[in-house]
Structure 1
């Protein structure tokens, strides 16, 4: 019975960790998407130019 309780607790803790990491990744993806939108100004640009603009935007903060 104790082993079952420990197993259940471990599973719950694992789910909490996975949920936390998922939330963090989704937040970072949203931030990156916003940076890309600002850097492109709604137009098509090369990926090298885009990386440079994002890096410049990040260094200003």
Structure 2
């Protein structure tokens, strides 16, 4: 069974990949830090990544 942080880390990698944003080697520390945050904060980060750019510019 995955810990909550491990699940959030995998979700974050998946969201970045789906958005066409490949994490750089230096980004792994930031991903670790974001994965340690609570589920509410993680959901906001996921929403920011997955919202198409054209909707953000409206």
TM-score w.r.t. structure 1 length? Answer: 0.32
Please identify the structure whose Cα radius of gyration is greater: 1
* More helix, by proportion: 1
Bigger RCO of structures 1 and 2 (CA < 8 A, at least 6 apart): 2
